[in-house]
Structure 1
């Protein structure tokens, strides 16, 4: 993650820092007459329903507030892989991988505040404190005071939320932490470019199909099957402009961006649970993580031939890495004993 790829906040880096990919037929055979889009090309970018990937969806109402968080769920047994998406994405970012993970574990993918189908009293409050409170509140609302073993998985902005939640030790059954393609040093360095990236991306789409096509051709996502699932819930229809616009108003949340990433490496390294860092390139480790990795404080895997959204671009490989992490650390339905982390609902030995 360097300044040219800008892998932090808006998760839109490739579509703006690199020229938009051109259709090969247009560049190689420019003299040929333009052909109108066929029904097949429209179908190629048509939305796909989440059913068949997740098993069900639900709205989690938070007591004493007007906040309602949308979650997608899959699987019946095993630990809970609790997924937090990046800025501008939604819980459906994990749909393709959930179909595989649910064979051996449970999956919960949450639409964070200001994203997807979640609604809150203040959709623009994306402070790290508020988002952490949201996650803890959803876990408590779903599982009460005795939650099952939980593996927090966070992509980019969601990765920072996962790390901060783990650092709070607010989930008594936390059994693992997986961070996807976000590192403190390079994330902070790239923040200066974020507003430019957000303003440079395409803002309006005449149809959902056009938005899906743009995300794939522009390089934001490399897997068309995942784009057809995840892109629709990142949009909303604007009645006055008669077009689709982005659901998340990231450009209005700049005051919170630095708080997402400051101190992230140390919080990650000090979290007293098994840890996995998935990266799309080897140049993304900062000094603290490089030292920690050499000391064996966490497992790191570099996933080749993928963009920033590893879970979308290579869902099979992503799912396999998650399941191997669960197996390697013997994370079962009731969690594993983590030295130094006492679960408050367990009775003490006499």
Structure 2
């Protein structure tokens, strides 16, 4: 049997090379495990900040919560950031790591938030990238998060996503299956993979790998090729669900992503804000963390979102002018 060890055990020493790994602790403040009762499933979280609304981040397939590290570091002075390792990713451990059905992933998010906050859940803004964007949309549409105040989706549109699934297996098989070092994996990720920001890759790539002690090499942690049965479910019907979510929302796209009919009409009707970023690849939160952080913080300010919910200025002024009894 092949033996695997956490990559973190091999990346604790100091490095100075161009592609050497960097610690997530430079951006997040702490890590935490949340165990779901009656299941034994354990989900790993990265947290930053101590005040304000909670920006709850969901990564894409094959990434991890650490992909939001640089963005979190830029936002934590004004909000709290929680980045979750989804099932089968990062340091989360579940009884079935390949059950990436949209229902299971959505329920995982609900369970983690329940365990993390109980009956005192602060105002939440869901931010999801790619597969995580689909999970965020499904969670918002179910209306189970009573303190949800915003939804931000990164680079996923139903039509384009569904069309791209036909090429997903060939893309996965075209990736290198192993690397002799974490440094080589980071180098490939920015030269031949999906990342463009070396600084972010140096923080995040290690969390997507596992070490094979028998073969003495690093391989991909998440076997996405074994989860194909769930891919259609991530994106089918996503546009209508996004538009039906009863909170302020932003769709942030990389390049000139084409909207489908439902989203085009919804945008014309002012049902959501769309932002197109030109100088980024698919992993917006990694490639341009400064731009994403600015958009999120502006969204928080514009919608008057605080830890306790949405504060409407007119109501506040009326309360301040009301005579004291």
Structure 2: state its 5+ residue gaps.
1-14, 313-325
Which of 219, 241, 248 is equivalent to 1:267? 241
Where 1:282 maps in the other structure, the secondary structure is coil
Which of 191, 194, 200 is equivalent to 1:217? 191
State how far apart, in whole Å, the 1-side matches of 2:305 and 2:311 are: 9
Could you tell me which residue of structure 2 aligns to residue 184 of structure 1?
158
Structure 1: state its 5+ residue gaps.
1-40, 339-350
Which of 4, 11, 31 is equivalent to 1:57? 31
Could you tell me which residue of structure 2 aligns to residue 321 of structure 1?
295
- What whole-Å deviation, never above 9, does each CA across 1:52-98 have from its counterpart, x for those lacking one? 20000000011111100000000000000000000000001000010
Could you tell me which residue of structure 1 aligns to residue 308 of structure 2?
334
Could you tell me which residue of structure 2 aligns to residue 205 of structure 1?
179
Could you tell me which residue of structure 1 aligns to residue 268 of structure 2?
294
Give yes or no for the alignment of 1:127 onto 2:101.
yes
Could you tell me which residue of structure 1 aligns to residue 282 of structure 2?
308
State how far apart, in whole Å, the 2-side matches of 1:329 and 1:298 are: 13
Using the TM superposition, give the Cα deviation of residue 284 of structure 1 relative to its aligned residue in structure 2, in angstroms: 2.6
After TM superposition, the score normalised by the length of structure 2 is 0.90
State how far apart, in whole Å, the 2-side matches of 1:163 and 1:201 are: 29
Could you tell me which residue of structure 2 aligns to residue 93 of structure 1?
67
Structure 1 stretches (4+) deviating beyond 6 angstroms? Answer: none
Where 1:221 maps in the other structure, the secondary structure is coil
CA contact (8 A) 1:155 1:309 kept: yes
Could you tell me which residue of structure 2 aligns to residue 150 of structure 1?
124
Using the TM superposition, give the Cα deviation of residue 241 of structure 1 relative to its aligned residue in structure 2, in angstroms: 2.1
After TM superposition, the score normalised by the length of structure 1 is 0.84
CA contact (8 A) 1:42 1:209 kept: no
Root-mean-square deviation (CA, aligned residues, Å) is 1.3
Give yes or no for the alignment of 1:102 onto 2:76.
yes
State how far apart, in whole Å, the 1-side matches of 2:32 and 2:51 are: 18
Using the TM superposition, give the Cα deviation of residue 107 of structure 1 relative to its aligned residue in structure 2, in angstroms: 0.1
Mean CA deviation greater in 327-336 or 63-72: 327-336
CA contact (8 A) 2:86 2:92 kept: yes
Number of aligned residues: 298
Give yes or no for the alignment of 1:277 onto 2:241.
no
Where 1:284 maps in the other structure, the secondary structure is coil
